[in-house]
Amino acid sequence: MIQRDLFPSHSCCLWLWLCKEAGFQKRSAPPFGRISAMDFALTQEQELIRESAYKFGQNSILPGLAERDRAHQSDKEMLRRMGEAGFLGVCIPPNYEGMGADYVSLGLVCEELERADSTARVAMSVHVGLHSMTLMQWGTEEQKRRWLPDLATGRKLAGFGLTEPNAGSDASSLRTTATKDGDHYVINGQKTWISLADYADQFLIITKLAETTAKAPYAAFIIDRNTPGFSSRAIKGKLGVRAGNTGELFFEDMRVHHDCRIGEEGDGFKVAMSALDHGRYTVASGAVGIIQACLDASVKYANERSVQGEPIGKKQLVQQMIASMVQGREVGRLLYYKVGWMKNQGLRHTKECSLAKWTNCAAAFDAANKAVEIHGAYGYTDEFPVERYFRNSRGAMIYEGTHEIHTLMQAEYELGYRTDKPLDYVLPSYPFED
């Protein structure tokens, strides 16, 4: 047992005492620079944000959702309400009209929104993660002032376009081209599997450069859907996220001014990869919301449904499935809280984000599978929500890096074939500077 009277009572004295005992010399500067300790307790502000996202899910997403999902009908009105509630600008600094909360809060919003339905979290992923945060990371001050206020308030909606019919996991084999013509680029090509394709007012797209001396021939642009030569078309018949809009984008001799280019010529692939650092974070945190939703439904059902005179929750094999879901939720939260903390500190987090996305999406699909199992035949119908969780969670193992891509990335990091170098352009750390 620790003898308490051996330690000085004041925590600062305790720190000095521990340093002395460990043989550390007194330093004039803090030993760990600007990095603050990882803290798993949520602040009052974060708890409030989590609570308001939960209530939004209950009051503004769930009513009518089952019917919309059955009818493959998306709800643009819900996106407007998300903007009004401030979620679309949750981690955008106040000087760009955002809520100015930290990046852990972004994860909490994604978790609670996806607890209601994946469609709302998908909108967070593309609008906030892949588009707005990438603009925060790579945009010039003029570009941020031009676009971020409308995005942070939801006055405008945004999407992201990397994937093409022949460029999925192999993101570098893009065929969409940007050809320089005076002050403009002429863009031709096609993107597919684009969330909010029919709704977004603007898209961050990645193209190949037709003529360039850059080592990596890619460039990123923010394009407006009203630009002549732009069109979109919805994709029908999806397995999941049926109440969300997904489609294709087409660019035909679309002229885009060079001041809409994000980053330099040659930066396009890096812009895309850093966008995925933000998008994958929102997917990883949202996946925990699916696990929680599976638990909500399964615990209720296991307590209400009786077999042989007792609730099925008393059956050990059902308990095993519940316990496994709890494990997924708790591990998942720790993984995404860590990535949120790293974003707050301004640390590179590609490896940790890939790990969180990979682990949490697999755990969410497993939880949904178990939730269907617990519900038996009822779980196989849309009378209960678990079949929707099952279909929605499958998609997250494909988009924003397939399960296999993340498996390979994790192995490559461990084997020393892949490392995360310091970045030239970093996401602003939290607290934001004025």
Q: Which residues are catalytic?
A: 400
Q: Does 126 bind ligand CAA (CB under 6 A)?
A: yes
Q: Does 232 bind ligand CAA (CB under 6 A)?
A: no
Q: Does 277 bind ligand CAA (CB under 6 A)?
A: yes
Least distance CB 149 / ligand CAA (angstroms): 24
In the set 174, 291, 400, 430, which binds ligand CAA (CB under 6 A)?
400
Residue nearest to ligand CAA (CB): 273
Q: Does 225 bind ligand CAA (CB under 6 A)?
A: no
In the set 269, 341, 358, 365, which binds ligand CAA (CB under 6 A)?
269
Least distance CB 428 / ligand CAA (angstroms): 15
Q: Does 123 bind ligand CAA (CB under 6 A)?
A: no
Q: Does 421 bind ligand CAA (CB under 6 A)?
A: yes
Q: Does 169 bind ligand CAA (CB under 6 A)?
A: yes
Q: Does 274 bind ligand CAA (CB under 6 A)?
A: yes
Q: Which of 124, 134, 239, 251 is nearest to 191 (CA)?
A: 251
Q: Does 193 bind ligand CAA (CB under 6 A)?
A: yes
How do 202-209 and 177-181 pair as beta strands? parallel
Pick the stretch among 85-93, 95-103, 105-113, 161-169 that binds ligand CAA (CB under 6 A).
Answer: 161-169
In the set 58, 172, 306, 381, which binds ligand CAA (CB under 6 A)?
172
Q: Does 164 bind ligand CAA (CB under 6 A)?
A: no
Q: Does 171 bind ligand CAA (CB under 6 A)?
A: yes
In the set 16, 42, 423, 426, which binds ligand CAA (CB under 6 A)?
423
Q: Does 163 bind ligand CAA (CB under 6 A)?
A: yes
Q: Does 416 bind ligand CAA (CB under 6 A)?
A: no
Pick the stretch among 103-111, 268-276, 284-292, 365-373 that binds ligand CAA (CB under 6 A).
Answer: 268-276
Q: Does 162 bind ligand CAA (CB under 6 A)?
A: yes
In the set 276, 356, 364, 374, which binds ligand CAA (CB under 6 A)?
276
How far is residue 3 from each of residues 8, 193, 246, measured CA to CA in Å? 11, 62, 62
Least distance CB 424 / ligand CAA (angstroms): 8
How do 177-181 and 158-161 pair as beta strands? unpaired
Q: Which of 174, 248, 181 is nearest to 206 (CA)?
A: 174
Instruction: Encode the chain in three state secondary structure.
Output: CCCHHHCCCCHHHHHHHHHHHCCCCCCCCCCCCCCCCCCCCCCHHHHHHHHHHHHHHHHHHCCCHHHHHHCCCCCHHHHHHHHHHCHHHCCCCHHHCCCCCCHHHHHHHHHHHHHHCHHHHHHHHHHHHHHHHHHHHHCCHHHHHHHHHHHHHCCCCEEEECCECCECCCCCCCCCEEEEECCEEEEEEEEEEEECCCCCCEEEEEEEECCCCCCCCEEEEEEECCCCCEEEEECCCCCCCCCCCEEEEEEEEEEEEHHHEECCCCCHHHHHHHHHHHHHHHHHHHHHHHHHHHHHHHHHHHHHCEECCEEHHHCHHHHHHHHHHHHHHHHHHHHHHHHHHHHHHCCCCHHHHHHHHHHHHHHHHHHHHHHHHHHHHHHHCCCCCHHHHHHHHHHCCCCCCCHHHHHHHHHHHHHCCCCCCCCCCCCCCCCCCC
Q: Does 136 bind ligand CAA (CB under 6 A)?
A: no
Q: Does 350 bind ligand CAA (CB under 6 A)?
A: yes
In the set 298, 399, 427, 430, which binds ligand CAA (CB under 6 A)?
399
Least distance CB 425 / ligand CAA (angstroms): 8
In the set 131, 156, 261, 270, which binds ligand CAA (CB under 6 A)?
270
Contact between residue 12 and residue 19 where contact means Cβ atoms under 8 Å apart: no
Q: Does 319 bind ligand CAA (CB under 6 A)?
A: no
Cβ proximity to ligand CAA, 236 vs 421, nearer residue: 421
# binding residues, ligand CAA (CB under 6 A) = 24
Q: Does 426 bind ligand CAA (CB under 6 A)?
A: no
How far is residue 197 from each of residues 46, 118, 203, measured CA to CA in Å? 31, 16, 9
- Interface residues with ligand CAA (CB under 6 A)? 126, 160, 162-163, 169, 171-172, 193-195, 269-270, 273-274, 276-277, 350, 399-401, 405, 409, 421, 423
